[in-house]
Amino acid sequence: MKPKIHPEYVDCKVSCGCGVTFMTRSTRKEIHIEVCSACHPFYTGRQKFMDTAGRIEKFNRRYGKGKGAEGAPDADRAAEASPAPAGG
């Protein structure tokens, strides 16, 4: 190896979003990760849904699945298009 061109290989602290931390070696002093072997479904055997910004609810509202069917855009458009009954 050529001298003085390679990065320094130091002890590194890895922190997961679930709160687990462990030590390893890397060219960085700290690494922050979202999923580790303690919380990843492949290693734990349990399913974990990661709903980002309500994407599941948005899908359900748009396509009329489950609880959000009342607020479907098609139902809103149909209510707006029908004229109000005249009273009197």
Q: Residues 6 or more apart from 3 whose CB is under 8 A from it?
A: none
pTM: 0.45
- C-alpha distance across the termini of the chain, in Å: 94
Residue range 25-45: mean pLDDT, rounded: 85
Per the DSSP assignment, residues forming a β-bridge with 24 are 12
**57 and 22 share a domain?**
no
Q: Minimal CA–CA distance to 15: which of 2, 34, 38?
A: 34
**58 and 31 share a domain?**
no
Q: What is the pLDDT of residues 3-23, one digit of tens each?
A: 889 899 999 999 998 888 999
**28 and 1 share a domain?**
yes
**10 and 43 share a domain?**
yes
Q: Residues 6 or more apart from 69 whose CB is under 8 A from it?
A: 60, 75
Taken as a whole, the chain contains a residue count of 88
Q: What is the pLDDT of residues 38-87, one digit of tens each?
A: 887 777 777 656 656 677 788 888 888 665 445 545 555 555 555 556 65
